[in-house]
Amino acid sequence: MTAQKTILRALAGETLPTPPIWMMRQAGRYLPEYKATRAQAGDFLSLCYNPDLAAEVTLQPIRRYGFDAAILFADILLVPQALGADLWFVTGEGPRLSTITSQGDFDKLKPAAAIHDHLSPVYETVKILSRELPDETTLIGFAGAPWTVATYMIAGQGTPDQGPAHALKAENTPLFEAVLDRITQATIHYLSAQIDAGAEVVKLFDSWAGSLKDDDFINYSIKPMAQITAALKAKHPDTPIIAFPRGAGERYAGTHAAIGADCIAIDDGVDAAWAAANVQTGGCVQGNLKSSHMVTGGDDLIAETRRICQALSKGPHIFNLGHGITPDADPDNVQLMIETVRGG
């Protein structure tokens, strides 16, 4: 059955007449059934760590829309928590963590290999999904890339410009690189365990890659993802890897080879025709409809969806958004997008 799955065929380099489709954050706050399950869980972290409920919200968009892939419901900040950071969510504001700004803070972190007891509920969610998903649906696991995770661990929260992480990088490079390496090693362990539990593809989200300039982009976004990819390929050679250095702009060119990834996800800051000429030459491309179309819908959604599909039709392509769907999206617009991709 695996050979029949369209996402896996695209990731293997096949050009398909209709691109397979899934959507970043497809299990989430725009769906009424998600809101009901989250209320049942009590809070966001309780939902992440409840395998039955996390599997349920992962399955909800598959039942509703028939996406070609399901992505594990979890959060990129579970890894810092597993390493020993305090993590909590402030309603309406987002995550908060204890900060890593000194050697003493870093020394309190657990070894990278010590994360599995804490993350075992996530692995159980993957096992449930591998049993319950339809045969034609690919199961995607994921983690945050080291630079993005580090920005949260250093600042203690999301920031507009990742300033605290940039400051630590400049002021105490050895400590910054030690943090990055601990996250890198933990991520290798985490994704390998997801694959062992049944994930068929894994994705690395470097959401803040675009704020890295010049050599820092290579050293702190691309190289850590390449290190993770190489380690996973050594242990799981048949598992495809998607990498998403969001905000890379023209630096997306060449990233398949630089990271060793089977697919590069592109954001909506680059044109699909440009990506076809400069990124898709290296392998499968995933993307890149603006998530705002899921709010506004209409003819613009249809036209832009068709334009992206056409631009990337000469090579392997997985249709997706250029960023995660937003809570104010209209579920009917998601259906319209899927019907447009599939020729409806």
pLDDT at position 344? 62
Q: Whole-prediction pTM value?
A: 0.98
Do the Cβ atoms of 337 and 289 come closer than 8 Å? yes
pLDDT at position 340? 98
The token pair at 193 is 């365990």
Alpha carbon of 75 to those of 122, 140, 189, 191: distances in Å?
10, 13, 16, 13
The token pair at 274 is 């440009």
CATH number at residue 279: 3.20.20.210
pLDDT at position 79? 98
C-alpha–C-alpha distance, residues 325 and 293, integer Å? 9
The mean predicted confidence, pLDDT, of the chain is 97
Using DSSP's 3-state secondary structure scheme, residue 322 falls into coil
C-alpha–C-alpha distance, residues 195 and 30, integer Å? 28
Q: Write the DSSP symbol of residue 281.
A: G
pLDDT at position 319? 98
Please compute, for residue 207, the number of CA atoms within 13 A of its CA located in the half-sphere on the CB side.
19
Q: How confident is the model at residue 1 (pLDDT cuts 50, 70, 90)?
A: very low
Q: Mind listing the pLDDT tens digit for each residue in 277-293?
A: 999 999 999 999 999 99
- Residue 17 backbone dihedrals phi, psi, to 5 degrees: -65, -30
In the chain, the number of structural domains is 1
Choose the weakest-confidence range: 11-15, 48-52, 89-93, 214-218. 89-93
C-alpha–C-alpha distance, residues 183 and 147, integer Å? 9
Report which residue type is found at 337. M
pLDDT at position 92? 84
The token pair at 238 is 């048949």
C-alpha–C-alpha distance, residues 312 and 310, integer Å? 5
User: 32: burial class by Cβ within 10 Å (0-12, 13-18, 19+)?
Assistant: exposed
Structural domain containing residue 156 = 2-341
Using DSSP's 3-state secondary structure scheme, residue 9 falls into helix
Q: Mind listing the pLDDT tens digit for each residue in 160-211?
A: 999 999 999 999 999 999 999 999 999 999 999 999 999 999 999 999 999 9
- Residue 201 backbone dihedrals phi, psi, to 5 degrees: -145, 150
216-99-244-339 Cα dihedral, nearest 10 degrees: -150
C-alpha–C-alpha distance, residues 187 and 194, integer Å? 10
- Mean pLDDT over 146-157 rounds to 98
Q: How confident is the model at residue 315 (pLDDT cuts 50, 70, 90)?
A: very high
pLDDT at position 91? 83
- Mean pLDDT over 57-68 rounds to 98
- Mean pLDDT over 124-130 rounds to 98
**How many CB atoms sit inside 10 A of residue 183's CB?**
27
Q: Mind listing the pLDDT tens digit for each residue in 14-50?
A: 999 999 999 999 999 999 999 999 999 999 999 999 9
pLDDT at position 3? 55
pLDDT at position 4? 84
Q: How confident is the model at residue 55 (pLDDT cuts 50, 70, 90)?
A: very high
Query: Which stretches does DSSP call E strand in the chain?
Result: 69-71, 87-90, 94-97, 138-144, 201-206, 241-245, 263-265, 284-289, 317-321
Q: Name the helix (H) or strand (E) containing 175.
A: helix 173-197
Q: How confident is the model at residue 312 (pLDDT cuts 50, 70, 90)?
A: very high
Q: Mind listing the pLDDT tens digit for each residue in 229-252?
A: 999 999 999 999 999 999 999 999
